Amino acid sequence: MADSGMSVSPYWELTFDTGGDVDPPERDHLLAQVTEHGIRDLVVFAHGWNEDRSAATALYRRFFAPFPGLAPKAHLGYVGVVWPSMRFSDEPIPDFPKSVVATEAASGPALDQDTRRGLLVAFPDRADVIEQVARLLDERPDGDAGLTEFGRLVRLLLDGAGSTAADTDEDGEPAVFTEEPATACAEFAGALAAVAAPGGTEGFSLPNPWEGAKELLRQAAYYQMKGRAGTIGEHGLGPLLGKLAAKAPGVRVHLVGHSFGGRLVAFALRGLPGQARPVKSLTLLEGAFSHYVFADRLPEDPHKSGALKDQQRRIDGPLVCCHSHFDAALGTFYPLASRLAGDDRSCLGNEIAAVLGPRWGALGHDGVQAVPGTARLDLAGALAGRLPASGCVNVDAAAVVRRGGPPAGAHSDILHPELARVVLAAARIA
């Protein structure tokens, strides 16, 4: 339903469950009213990892706020996608007030109550496992035995996740890590130390592996969110956009996604029915999925392709990928977690992505890769009117996406009018 407290109007929210089913009254309300309001362009935004509906709505309120002033003559409508995801409360979001929970978490238990509730949503029927994980994080027993048990519990959380998070056409992706838990935790601990003190590793002693254990748990939760986002996009949002195209064929849809929300809107392309082409632009903001997802062939294995191979052609306009090297979540932890999921190379220290090589990269760190013809622009160039009318376009947004503390860095630093202007430029809305 429309939110009277929203910064723009008309605005609708669409709520999806874990399987991609949308709330029927919200769906019907949108389909019935979009033509009544004379909407020409509909901007659909999907959040990334988040705590709850109120946080998602606050994000949309602030991101959409510049649009009316930037395009005063456009007949715009706005949709906020709400889907079940979670955010660890110790991750700061620039420009959002620091929560009391986040403040207390610094001196309280390793997993505060909000984070535990989020984990219960992410992993239903695993309350006993979550409690054991929380206890181990608090107690930090000496030796490898405790870390081995911790790793076993994390794997139990992911039992049944399967290959739902795969971004290539491989038969499946192992979840989070395959090597010994103590080694995995040590690598995450080293990465955390490097992010917290970049360039300060001279004379540095390896931190306690338990410092990396929480990061291992975080990546397990995000692996689950990553798979869920694809499911909701393909089986929920995509079919709904097909219904919208049939109901209101003149409405131009512009998809926007942050983090795993980028994966959600991208996989919606694969869920579009038949020859429906309602999507006129797609803008990814710090997309938390593989930079090879649209590739026809993977550089490491030309017999394999990205999971969304050629899906950018379902867009009647450009696919714009905004990325920033200040995004530590994607520049450091995403490639490290991906490598730990099935490769035998090892690294610690600062330039994780550079050490690991391009195989494990994320869209939000360095943009779309291995798609011939992909254009590359800086933010100034994109805003100067040089965005191509179609195809993949990488926009280096580091000029504005640059603030945020560890562990995520600038991953959530997206509340900038410049990024709203990029969305409008991709949509060809003056």
Amino acid 122: pLDDT: 82
- Amino acid (1-letter code) at residue 380: A
Amino acid 285: pLDDT: 98
C-alpha 156/C-alpha 170 separation (Å) is: 23
Q: Give the closest residue to 208 by CA, choosing from 230, 235, 231, 185.
A: 185
C-alpha 276/C-alpha 274 separation (Å) is: 6
Size of the chain in residues: 430
Buried b (16+ CB within 10 A) or exposed e, 357-391: eebbbbbbbbbbbbbeebbebebeebbeeebeeeb
The structure tokens listed for 131 are: 């409690």
Query: DSSP labels for 195-263?
Result: HHSTT--TTPPPPPTHHHHHHHHHHHHHHHHHHHHHHHIIIIIHHHHHHHHHH-TTPEEEEEEETHHHH
Amino acid 94: pLDDT: 74
Q: In degrees, to the nearest 5, what angle opens at C-alpha 282 toward C-alphas 279 and 285?
A: 155
Instruction: Specify the DSSP element, H or E, that contains 393.
Output: strand 391-396
Amino acid 6: pLDDT: 95
pTM of the model: 0.88
| 424 alpha-carbon distance from chain centroid | 21
Residue 325 has phi, psi (to 5 degrees) of -75, -5
C-alpha 121/C-alpha 224 separation (Å) is: 11
Amino acid 51: pLDDT: 65
Over its length of 430 residues, how does the chain's per-residue pLDDT go in tens digits? 455 589 999 999 999 999 999 999 999 999 999 989 999 999 999 999 876 789 899 999 999 999 999 999 999 999 999 999 887 877 767 776 655 434 444 446 789 888 888 888 888 889 999 999 999 999 999 989 999 999 999 989 887 554 456 676 543 344 556 678 898 898 888 888 887 766 554 544 567 899 899 988 988 888 888 889 999 999 999 999 999 999 999 999 999 999 999 999 999 999 999 988 999 999 999 999 999 999 999 888 888 899 999 999 999 999 999 999 999 888 887 777 776 664 333 333 334 444 444 566 899 999 999 999 999 999 999 999 999 999 999 999 999 999 988 778 899 999 999 999 999 999 999 7
